């Protein structure tokens, strides 16, 4: 199992229509067949400046690779992520 996580900050004002649209449009990622347990999260720690997080799981590396190459993921990264995210940190985990 691989848990793929990313924390990020958007260029949009908090609570704005643009912020809400980005988060709503990101739900397309949950529909990619190999994605399991997709979550959108609000980051609340005072120890960093990130505002949101996405978390999802994949059964294995093949599932992750399928997601990474999927046209919906590629288009979302190209058309939305690269234009609207100002900072992010991606971490992928496997169980010990």
Domains of the chain: 2-91 (3.30.70.100)
Report the SS3 class of residue 87: strand
Q: Give pLDDT, residue 94.
A: 97
| Average per-residue pLDDT for the chain | 97
Other Cβ atoms closer than 10 A to 96: 3
Query: Would you mind telling me the total number of residues written for the chain in this entry?
Result: 96
Query: In the prediction, which pLDDT does 85 show?
Result: 98
pTM above 0.85, yes or no: yes
Are the C-beta atoms of residues 58 and 34 closer than 8 Å to each other?
Answer: yes
């Amino acid at each position: 199992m691989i848990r793929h996580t990313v924390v990020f900050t958007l260029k949009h004002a908090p609570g704005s229509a643009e912020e809400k649209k980005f988060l709503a449009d990101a739900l397309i990622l949950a529909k990619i067949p190999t994605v399991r347990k997709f979550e959108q999260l609000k980051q609340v720690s005072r120890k960093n400046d990130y505002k949101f997080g996405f978390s999802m799981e994949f059964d294995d590396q093949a599932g992750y690779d399928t997601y990474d190459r999927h046209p919906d993921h590629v288009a979302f990264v190209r058309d939305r992520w690269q234009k609207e995210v100002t900072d992010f940190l991606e971490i992928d985990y496997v169980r010990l």
